[in-house]
Amino acid sequence: MDERPEDRLVEEARRGGREAFAELVRRHERRVYGVVFRMAGNRSDADDLAQEVFLTAWKAIASFNRSASFYTWLYRIAVNKSLTFLKKRRREKDRTEFDENLSVAASARGLPSSPEGSSVLSELRGRMDEAIESLPAPFRASFVLVAGEGLSHADAARVLGCSENTVSWRMHKARKLLQARLKPFLGEVRS
Amino acid sequence: MRCGTAKKRLSDDLDGALAPERKDRLEAHLRSCPACRAYRDDLVLLQAGALYPADRSPECWAAFEKRLESKLAGEEPGRGAVGIPFSGRRRWAWAAAGGMALAAAGLWFALLRPGTAVTAAWVPDEDALIPLLQEAEADPELERDVDREIRASIEEMTPVLDADIIFLPAADPLFWESLSDDELRFIASELEKETGLGGPK
């Protein structure tokens, strides 16, 4: 495990240090992957998106403003890439009139689509991923960063370029939408 | 506390963003409101479903890093720009708001600006005008009003004349209205002789 502080790694990477950048990738790949996976909704697209995030970060690392955290900057790239991807996917979907019903989406994701043979938590996660996919993009981005990645409202606001109040409202609205959509299932789990 | 406020604060509380004094009031509300307690339980479950690591095997991560390394091999670090998410959407929102403000200002100037009295349209309908004129003959106040409206409407249609060629009777719009077609033709021919440009037709 490389013990060098992150600031030093970033500085070395800015000067073209590939090995320092590789270490930054190792430190942040799980978090970046978590964001793009929840935004995109499936693993194969998430893998490609995470690759693109780090490639973009490498190409732009000289413009990284060191007053912000490196992971905040990476998250911003991840959200941007995911939004571009979602737009493209929506356009393609409209063009081919592809009927993406939810059970097919769940199967493709490799998650159980029925309660049989699965734990309640994995069933909940599968349904959550589907429900998150139905959220409007600004709500989804806030929810993924705060509820999924554990960012504070202030950090999420820095990533998304908005105020903390906006993040707070988006979280409230996202939770209300998710709760309304999953209400019957949540009732079953609680009982 | 209303349930709507309580639900918003429950969300903030789950994110660790609720001030302690507000939390006390929220707890007090929850003790007396079963619906909000049920909502809180749902949110706790949602949180459990959302907060999980994107688990993959070490082999998967190794393959991921190797693939990335080969992509980076042909690239140099640079100063590419990283935009703010949703900034395009914001630009559209500002453009739409600006457009609406301009349209509102245009409407205000066209219809409601101060000093412009919005009056009922003058309808030069012969059937409507005759009874009005008959009524005006018996009512001096109405006669003055009708006279004022007629003069104003004629003035609106009269072309602006240069001050140096104006003469007193011609300044009265009713002067031209009272002339017969023969008289107008005579004036036109006389003006044409004098100026070579012709007169009012």
**How many beta-carbon pairs under 8 angstroms link A with B?**
152
Helices A43-60 and B58-72 cross at an angle (nearest 10°) of 40
* Residue predicted with more confidence, A114 or A89: A89
Position B152 pLDDT exceeds 50: yes
Beta carbons of B65 and A22 less than 8 Å apart: yes
Which among A116-130, A149-163, B81-95 has the top mean pLDDT? A149-163
Beta carbons of B64 and A16 less than 8 Å apart: no
Chain B: residue whose CA lies nearest to A19: B69
Q: Give the pLDDT score at A104.
A: 39
Residue B135 makes CB contacts below 8 A (sequence gap 6+) with B142
Measured between alpha carbons, how far is A71 from B47 in angstroms, rounded to an integer? 22
Q: Give the pLDDT mean for B196-201.
A: 57
* Residue A167: Cβ within 10 Å count: 28
**Whole-angstrom Cα Rg for chain A:** 18
Measured between alpha carbons, how far is A86 from A27 in angstroms, rounded to an integer? 26
CA distances from B66 to A56, B57, B60, B71 (A): 17, 15, 10, 9
- Kindly state the tokens that stand for B196: 């070579």
Burial B169-184 (b: 16+ CB within 10 A, else e): eeeebeeeeeeeeeee
B159 touches chain A (CB under 8 A): no
- Kindly state the tokens that stand for B33: 């409101």
On chain A, the residues whose CB falls within 8 A of the CB of B8 are 168-169, 172
Q: Give the pLDDT score at A167.
A: 92
**Beta carbons of A53 and A77 less than 8 angstroms apart:** yes
Which pTM value belongs to this model?
0.61
Residue B162 per-residue DSSP state: P
> Which domains can be identified in chain A, with CATH numbers?
1-96 (1.10.1740.10), 100-191 (1.10.10.10)
* Residue A128: Cβ within 10 Å count: 27
Beta carbons of B85 and A178 less than 8 Å apart: no
On chain B, the residues whose CB falls within 8 A of the CB of A141 are 85-86
Nearest to B53 among A30, A62, A153 (CB): A30
Beta carbons of A56 and B82 less than 8 Å apart: yes
End-to-end CA distance of chain A: 46
* Residue among A35, A6, A40 at smallest CA distance from A20: A6
Chain A: residue whose CA lies nearest to B51: A148
Nearest to A161 among B61, B65, B84 (CB): B84
With a pLDDT cut of 90, the percent of chain A lying above it is 25
Confidence tier at A169 by pLDDT (50, 70, 90): very high
- Kindly state the tokens that stand for B192: 């044409």
B11 touches chain A (CB under 8 A): yes
Least reliable range by pLDDT among A27-31, A115-119, B10-14, B154-158? A115-119
Nearest to B68 among A54, A80, A172 (CB): A54
On chain B, the residues whose CB falls within 8 A of the CB of A132 are 50
On chain B, the residues whose CB falls within 8 A of the CB of A79 are 85
- Kindly state the tokens that stand for A71: 């992971």
pLDDT tens profile A60-98: 888 887 777 888 889 999 998 998 888 888 777 666 654
Q: Give the pLDDT score at A113.
A: 43
Q: Give the pLDDT mean for B96-103.
A: 79
Confidence tier at A115 by pLDDT (50, 70, 90): very low
Beta carbons of A62 and B53 less than 8 Å apart: no
Chain A: residue whose CA lies nearest to B56: A30
- ipTM of predicted assembly, 2 dp: 0.76
What is chain B's mean pLDDT, rounded? 76
Measured between alpha carbons, how far is A70 from A65 in angstroms, rounded to an integer? 9
Nearest to A189 among B45, B83, B84 (CB): B45
Beta carbons of B85 and A186 less than 8 Å apart: no
Question: Tokens 């194969």 map to which residue?
Answer: A44
